[in-house]
Amino acid sequence: MTIAAAQIVALSPLLMITGVGCLALLLDTMAKGRAPALWLAQLGCVAALLAVANQWMGSGSSQPIWSGMLIVDRMALFLDGVLIIAALATLLVAAPFMREHEFEHGEHYALVLFATAGGMTVVHATHLLSLLIGIETMSLAAYLLVASWRRQPAGAEGALKYLLLGAFAAGFLVYGTALVYGTTGGEMSYAGIAARAARAADNPLFIMGAYFLLTGMLFKIAAVPFHMWAPDAYEGAPTPVTGLMASGIKVAAVGGLVRLLGSAFANPGLALGHAGWVRVLGGIAFATMTWGNLAALRQENVKRMLAYSSIAHAGYLMIGLVALGQKVDGAQPALLVYLAAYAATTLGVFTVVAWVGRRDDERLLIRDWAGMARTRPAVALAMTVLLLSLAGVPPTGGFFGKFYVFRAAMQSPDLAWLVVAAVLNSLVSVYYYLRIVVAMYFRDPVRPWQPFPSVGMAIVLFVTVVVVLALGVVPRPVVELAAGGLVTHW
Amino acid sequence: MTDLTLTLLVPLLGAILVMVAPWGERTSRPIGIVAALVSLGQSLFIVRDFDKSIGAFQMAVDRPWVPSLGIRFHLGVDGISLWLVLLTTLMVFLTLLSPQAMGLHKTRSREFTVAILVLEAGMLGTFLAVDLFAFYVFWELMLIPMYFIIGIWGGERRLYAAIKFVIFTLVGSLLMLAAILYLYAQVHAVTGQWTFDYATWATITLPRGPELLCFLAFTLAFMIKVPLVPLHTWLPDAHVEAPTGGSVILAAVLLKFGAYGFLRFALPFFPLAAQQTAPIIAWLAVAGIIFGALMAWVQDDVKKLVAYSSVSHLGFVVLGILVLSQKGIQGGIFQMLAHGISTGGLFLAVGILYDRRHTRRLSDFGGLWKPMPVFGACFLVMVLASAGLPGLCGFVGEFLVLLGTFTAGKDWQASGLAAPMFAHPALLAGLAAFAVILAAVYLLTTYQRVMFGPLDKPENRDPQVRDLGLRERLVFAVLVLTALVMGMAPQPILDRTAASVQELTANYRFRLAEARANPIGPARRVVAGKPSARPASAPAGTARPF
Amino acid sequence: MPTYAYILVSLALFFVGAAGVLLRRNVLIVLMSVEMQLAAGTLALLSFSRALGDQKGHVFAFFVMALAAAEAAVGLAIVVSVFRTRRTASLDEVNGLKG
Amino acid sequence: MPSELRMIPLLPLLSAAYLILFGRRHSRESVHRIACLAVGAAFLVSADVFFFWFPILYQSNGLTDLVGTWLASGDLQVDLALRMDALSGLMCLMVTFVGTLIHIYSTGYLAHEQDYARFFAYLNLFCGAMLLLVLGDSLPVMFVGWEGVGLCSYLLIGFWYGEAANASAGKKAFITNRVGDLGFLIGMFLLFRAVGTLDIPVLVDTARAGSPSLTAALWWGQPVAFWAALFLFMGAVGKSAQIPLYVWLPDAMAGPTPVSALIHAATMVTAGVYMVARLGALYLLAPVALAIVAGVGALTALFAAVIALGQNDFKKVLAYSTISQLGFMFVGVGTGNFAGGIFHLFTHAFFKAGLFLCAGSVMHAMAGSGDITRMGGLAQKLPFTTWVFRVCWLAICGVPIFSGFFSKDAIVAGAFATEVFGPRLHWVGPTLGAGLLVAALGTAFYMSRLYCLVFTGECRADLDTRAHLHESPFAMVGPLLVLGLGALLAGVMGLPPALSRSHGDLIGRWLATALGRQPEVSRALQWRVMATSALIALAGIGLAWRFFGGGVREPARRFTAAWPHFTAAVRGKFFIDEIYDWLVVRPLRGLSRVFFLVVDRILIDKLLVGGWTVLVDTAGRLLRLVQVGDVQRYLAIFAIGLAALVYVMARPVAPSEVKVRIEGRSATVDLTEGKAAVDKLEYGFDFDGDGREDRVGAAANANWLYPRPGHYQLRIRIKDPRWNTSRTIARTIDIP
């Protein structure tokens, strides 16, 4: 294993985020106040973003790093970009949020970066070891972030549930790795597994191992029946963290799944047939979106509703994963576009949720949002656009992402039923998304609104709304960027 | 040439201007009116520049949108959409002009104007779209503004009505989305290219099973919009709760999309399925015509009454389209326009009544001719137009549809349609014609109970109950004049729809014959005159190599 | 001993751990059960690694141990946090978020 | 071709439009000047065209004025064209002439009316529509006028909208007419389907040529012509107030009296007769339809005459009389005697308009009351009115010399002489003729009763009214006199050949080209009919005098006492309105309510829509219950879910289709579904249900030869060797 300069450059975004995270942690212990750490983290994000852009421009082909532990390709870079932007947005929102709620800790910023670094590792991973490291880095940071609002009992409770279930899932991840490792004759790299998969597919232990691995990953994207942590953790977490979980962590996990399913387990003997993951994930996709949407119907807490919504979106995303298994045209770029649109939308939505709450007035119930359109018309409009994007109503990115994913699935006649189910599901989802719109627009204010002035939040909100609309109206650039990830070697 | 993009952009720009205008509520309506007027003017230019001898799309705007997915920003206007575009711009203009547009609400006119203008853009886009993706985007774009219009400015049960409207509409349109995606994949499978181009889609014949399912998905979406019995129950609620402006737009334009989409997409894309299900749809249309009228008769709420009358009137449109003859389809299109004018006018009239009296119950009115003679006259013209009095707009469409249906058997034979669309067309026409009586019954009863009789209720003598103001007069003058002109001189309208309808029916006949001749078969491309599939030209978009 | 015996032991360990996670009410014991599951994975890895004569399994096992330690640390921190707000370490009573 | 034809309907229409828009800004004088001038000018134009072109008119198909295409679609081409031939010219003259008179009359009658301009606007609009109806060259154009006059009728009946009853009467008129119009529409459709055009001349020519497109059998063995004629007649029944749709006309008397005179006596209600005459050639192709027309006419003539006997409202009596007289006309046209029908239409226009205007004059004097039991002895107070009334009364009774005598006789004689019904229905004509004679007796009786009760004897009005009795102003009396003159002399136009010693009557000769061949009536028959009807008229008058001369006399009272139920039934108009209400309106309304409440509200909204909502909502609530908050439950679901996943995954899936092909005794089973197998599965086929697997292996298909025919149980076991899981499918096979 040699460490060449070129590889370090290729991996610079990941290294920058990790390094800046460490520096921010140090700086926070040494500097006065929280601002320096925050600025450092934000600068680090911007720099990493520039590095991503540099990589994108620089090399066309994909690059295996460190003997195939990681890979730098267009897909990874695309998702890197999404993850870093999510981190930046979270930082921008978290700072004022924590200030308002008086729990500003410098390590918080570092943890955001660590979680992001973990996520980036996941999307770069082409080896089960790097996958495990990435997943766990991301998860451990996330547990702590959820628990970071110490005064709030819900935060600790959510974190505990998240942690216990996450650890349980990690157990499956590790055990699955072991089984795959053993049954493939000592393979841990994706390429190696893929090479042995055809033979190994006859071994039930290998299949079990593969499913254990998938379980560990599906837990991260909150797919039914591994989703139970999500509502509680989302509700308990500080709102900006919820935003990061719903966007960044989900993006990373889906990215990891795309890699895992698209290369390691892509063998038709493993993907198709009655024990194939196409069939199983199809069923899970259906269950996930249906469960998420139905359970969201009756929620009164906005964050909890959005948590269920995020479960439902995991279901939609899995349709794309299933399509990936059917080897149809454009499943992967569709997933990337969906992820980008979904991440932007979610970040925006949680920014609004973070914005409405004051120290003594969290305003987390839907009825608390009554009459927002009167007092804060711009924010209400932005929220409406974002909710419509979640619901998949044009002309928003949410619609285009759904369209793109469904397009992929529709190419296989076996998946048409999933698309129909998804479409009916989004009908259900419209109902509960509109409940928020109803409160904002159709009801009279219950109590006065005090503005929560924050430039950071305003920027994030504005940018996300613009991005969401742009993705809906002029999706071409993003489609092309995402398609760039197509031409890669696994 | 007229640029259709501009037609779409004007309302959107108007909406943005209203949104960002710093002067607040007071200027929003005037800005909106100006924007609507400009787009009305533009649509008049479109009518002027329209070449009636061409059946295909004209004044096309065709730009790549997402090339790798074959999505194009492709707009065009043909005889079928031409007048509907004009109807849209006209009714939006009149709605904004009408002082009652927001119902009893006097505030939030900025949001109202924005909603109406965005709605207008959506409606125009839906009529003009030639690319199916664009069509769907615009189709959905109409949903949300209308939802807001009902939800914010509506009546007591506005939340219920608004969500019912949304859910009903979405049930259909989401299934249609699934069908669109399926077709999209099939088109790709057949032609080797990803495209949403209408003309290409209209040459693809699906295998029977999927064809039927896709047709049902499309038709469900459209028939909910129409609405066809028994999918109509959202309409009375939506109308009753919507503010006047919302009701006007809903009745005058939004309902047309059902019939328009059915004619434009469901028939040409799925010729065989359409022919197989036509008997059911035709009977439902006739049921709608009759039961809509009957149910209108027993309503006490004037708005609900007019809403049910829409169910009845639009049944004619569906029936006419299903007949698939020149007379039937042209009649159906004309009926759409006429219904837009007359029912739009009726809703405006009801809005004025509501404004004056704050009630819509028939039993609360009576003798209003005395304080409001000018209104009475305008209202009467709208009532009569709606009742299909010859010489006013309502007659022509109904006459053509009924005549077309009655003589359909002969027309099918003469034109060489491969199989009749449905049995007993004359019987259906005869039954549908009963609406002629029923329309007179419920409309004149309504008119009488509102305008005639003694002025014995003290509330009706209130000075609040005053005759039309200047703006109201202007609105009604336009409507009355349009109704008269359309009734007296329908030919200019019919002339411009003829070529497109001819092309559509000819293509339908050809495709139906082909589909029936090859009962089993995979998805295939059928081009009139060129039986073999055209080799796919260079794929519009593949991934850029990196 | 043949490899499958190690695997059987590791499987047993894994399921015992899972049962502990599912059934025990004390948070600390649940955390320990989780560690047991990870240990089962480690055992499986090591036995495979040995049977295959491959070093990757060993390396992976180190990482798993590190992971177990990190998880324990974070877990304990969170348990402390829960205990501070609720004065209990029993999972029965940590059910404020639901629905 | 004269393009001034279009001026005839246009002048009143323009004036109407002007008056609607600006009438309220004008003084009364200018309003009625505009209105009267417009109609008068229309009269002058029509007279000019008519007389200038007369030689051509009556020998040809007439003159056409093509304004443009009204609507064309596919093979339908409807021109907005007007045609004046002898028939429409005559009608046109009559309409404009009577119309002008009634306009003038109205200026006096409505002198104190608030809504002066509105009234004249409607009246002008009516004239325009009526002229369009008359002149329209194609059925749709005619239909525009047809519905247009219906509209004006509606507006004018409800002119005094303040009374709910007036508005209701207008509505009833319109809706009843609409019922007929439905028939008109369907008739048009039938004709269009058969002939391919709706131009009246083409239709008439086609019918005259006896084209097979019209004589082909359509439904129940009857030809197209029959059904078209019948449906069109349905329109005529509505418009001309025949059984069963006559009920609106008596109510229509709620309108101002000039309206009753113009619309509900002279012009609009005769449109049905005009239409039938216009399309006479079509009717001649269908004798059964003709018989129905004539039968309905005769029945109506009798029935309405009976009801008229018991009415106590001046205008109601006249209304029923109109219905009855329209019945006469229909017998005329229904017996192929189109000229006779039109002739009676013509004379009736004069005398019935005259009678109505007299009624108006009387009611004007009586402060608006039309109750004839409160009148009497008005002859002295209203001399001019009385004289005109007498002329018109005698005319309608059919007293010789007066116009009604000739026209009625023309119809009766035509009925006796007609041969249009053919041999099988030859009895129809004489029967109807006899019926008409009875109706004529009734007519003479009830009209005389009216005369006696109003003009003779003592005045029964209260003192207040009596003090105000006065003759009407000249604006009213002038037109009255003209109409009286017409009623007296109009018969000249149709003097029967027996009297005029010429070939056929004048009007018949004029209309010959337009209407075609008329029944030949022998002179002897003419004499016989004239004599009989004169006697009948005198008998009726005499009988009425005995009952009512100078007030209600003893015989009348005795009759009432002897036949109380009959009298009550007649007074109550045989309760036809109530019967319709109970038979049609209420059930339909009830049905609508049921539909609205049960189907719409409950079935669709509650069950169909609400059901789904409840289902989804309940599912949402249930899923919330799963999320109990206990982390170990979550873990359990995680674990159980995973276990279930493994369980499902490890099980082979039953193929979506099992193809079994049987050839003779050999059965072939195929599970491949045409796809390449992905899984490595083992299949075990047990063909004969004995529990032993007959074929085992990796092949997904197998065949088997059965030893003997019978009913077998086929079991297929699909096994995945990896997991040692299997699934069994069973089918039954019949081996023939």
Average pLDDT for chain B: 89
Domain boundaries, chain D: 3-571, 659-735
Cβ contact C–A (≥3 pairs, < 8 Å): yes
B451-474 pLDDT, tens digit per residue, is: 888 888 888 888 888 888 889 999
Contact D630 C23 (CB under 8 A): no
CB pairs under 8 A between B and D: 148
B245 touches chain D (CB under 8 A): no
Q: What is the DSSP letter of A261?
A: I
B141 touches chain A (CB under 8 A): yes
Contact B174 A434 (CB under 8 A): no
B171 touches chain D (CB under 8 A): no
Per-residue model confidence (pLDDT) at position B533: 41
Question: Residue D727: closest CA among chain A residues belongs to which residue?
Answer: A274
Contact C42 A235 (CB under 8 A): no
Six-digit token string for D554: 């003893």
Task: Assess if residue C99 is contained within a domain.
Answer: no
Please, are residues D271 and D282 in contact by the beta-carbon 8 Å criterion?
A: no
Q: A378 to chain B nearest CA, in Å? A: 10
D643 touches chain C (CB under 8 A): no
SS3 D243: coil
Give the pTM: 0.91
Contact D636 C22 (CB under 8 A): yes
Distance from C-alpha of B180 to C-alpha of A402, rounded to nearest angstrom: 13
Contact B140 A377 (CB under 8 A): no
A276 touches chain D (CB under 8 A): yes
Distance from C-alpha of D527 to C-alpha of B390, rounded to nearest angstrom: 47
The distance in angstroms from the start CA to the end CA of chain D is 85
Q: A99 to chain C nearest CA, in Å? A: 21
Distance from C-alpha of D643 to C-alpha of D637, rounded to nearest angstrom: 10
Per-residue model confidence (pLDDT) at position B528: 67
Which residue has 């499956």 as its token pair? A172
Q: D71 to chain B nearest CA, in Å? A: 5
Number of independent structural domains in chain A: 1
The amino acid at B146: M
Residue B156 buriedness (CB in 10 A; 0-12 / 13-18 / 19+): exposed
Six-digit token string for D87: 């028939």
Domain carrying residue C8: 3-89
Distance from C-alpha of B431 to C-alpha of B287, rounded to nearest angstrom: 9
Task: Assess if residue A252 is contained within a domain.
Answer: yes
Of B178, B181, B208, the closest CA to residue B270 belongs to: B208
Domain carrying residue A480: 5-484
Q: How far is CA A74 from CA A7, A467, B436, D255, D330, in A?
A: 15, 20, 67, 86, 91
Task: Assess if residue A187 is contained within a domain.
Answer: yes
Mean pLDDT by 10 residues, chain D (736 residues): 79 91 85 89 89 81 86 89 88 90 88 85 92 91 91 89 87 91 92 90 88 83 89 92 89 88 87 90 88 91 89 88 91 87 89 88 82 81 85 88 86 85 83 90 89 83 79 83 86 76 71 76 83 89 84 81 84 85 89 88 86 90 89 92 90 80 85 72 83 82 84 86 86 83
CA dihedral sign of residues D297, D302, D303, D306: positive
- Residue D392 makes CB contacts below 8 A (sequence gap 6+) with D350, D351, D352, D354, D355, D358, D483, D484, D487
Contact D631 C94 (CB under 8 A): yes
Question: Residue D150: closest CA among chain B residues belongs to which residue?
Answer: B389
Q: Which of D637, D642, D678 sits opposite A272 (nearest CB)?
A: D678
- Element spanning D725, H or E: strand D725-735
pLDDT tens track, chain C, 99 positions = 688 899 999 999 999 999 999 998 889 999 999 999 999 999 999 999 999 888 889 999 999 999 999 999 999 999 998 888 888 878 888 888 887
Interface of C with A in 49-88 (CB under 8 A): 49, 51-54, 56-57, 59-60, 63-64, 67, 70-71, 74-75, 77-79, 81-82, 84-86
D640 touches chain C (CB under 8 A): no
* Chain D neighbors of B429, CB-CB under 8 A: 186, 189
Per-residue model confidence (pLDDT) at position B534: 39
Per-residue model confidence (pLDDT) at position D675: 65
> Which ipTM score applies to this complex?
0.90
Please, are residues D173 and D153 in contact by the beta-carbon 8 Å criterion?
A: yes
Contact C94 A164 (CB under 8 A): no
* Chain B neighbors of D192, CB-CB under 8 A: 403, 406-407
Six-digit token string for D650: 């490890």
Task: Assess if residue A319 is contained within a domain.
Answer: yes
Interface of C with D in 26-85 (CB under 8 A): 30
* 3-state SS string for D188-218: HHHHHHHHCCCEHHHHHHHHHCCCHHHHCEE
Question: Residue A418: closest CA among chain B residues belongs to which residue?
Answer: B178
Contact B326 D74 (CB under 8 A): yes
Per-residue model confidence (pLDDT) at position B536: 40
SS3 B423: coil
Contact C71 A170 (CB under 8 A): yes
Per-residue model confidence (pLDDT) at position D50: 86
Distance from C-alpha of B130 to C-alpha of B140, rounded to nearest angstrom: 15
Q: What is the DSSP letter of B536?
A: P
Number of independent structural domains in chain C: 1
D479: preceding bond cis by omega (within 30 degrees): no
B371-385, B508-522, B528-542, D539-553: the lowest-pLDDT one: B528-542
Interface of B with A in 58-117 (CB under 8 A): 64-69, 111
- Residue B466 makes CB contacts below 8 A (sequence gap 6+) with B356, B371, B372
Task: Assess if residue C44 is contained within a domain.
Answer: yes
Task: Assess if residue A490 is contained within a domain.
Answer: no
Q: B391 to chain A nearest CA, in Å? A: 42
Contact A487 B545 (CB under 8 A): yes
Residue D464 buriedness (CB in 10 A; 0-12 / 13-18 / 19+): exposed
Of B230, B241, B237, B235, the closest CA to residue B281 belongs to: B230
Contact A442 B162 (CB under 8 A): yes
Task: Assess if residue C23 is contained within a domain.
Answer: yes
Ranges in chain A, pLDDT < 50: 1, 486-490
Contact B396 D71 (CB under 8 A): yes
Q: Which of B370, B396, B403 sits opposite D189 (nearest CB)?
A: B403
Contact B68 A480 (CB under 8 A): yes
Task: Assess if residue A489 is contained within a domain.
Answer: no
Contact D630 C95 (CB under 8 A): yes
Task: Assess if residue A44 is contained within a domain.
Answer: yes
Task: Assess if residue C60 is contained within a domain.
Answer: yes
Task: Assess if residue A373 is contained within a domain.
Answer: yes
**Superfamily, domain D659-735:** Immunoglobulins (2.60.40.10)
Q: D27 to chain B nearest CA, in Å? A: 18
Chain B: list its partners (3+ Cβ pairs within 8 Å).
Answer: A, D
- Element spanning D71, H or E: strand D63-73
Of D55, D62, D14, the closest CA to residue D37 belongs to: D14
* Chain B neighbors of D181, CB-CB under 8 A: 436
Per-residue model confidence (pLDDT) at position B249: 93
> What is the CA B496 to chain-centroid distance, rounded?
18
Per-residue model confidence (pLDDT) at position A237: 92
Per-residue model confidence (pLDDT) at position D650: 86
B137 touches chain A (CB under 8 A): yes
Contact A215 D642 (CB under 8 A): yes
B158 touches chain A (CB under 8 A): yes
D624 touches chain C (CB under 8 A): yes
A61 touches chain B (CB under 8 A): yes
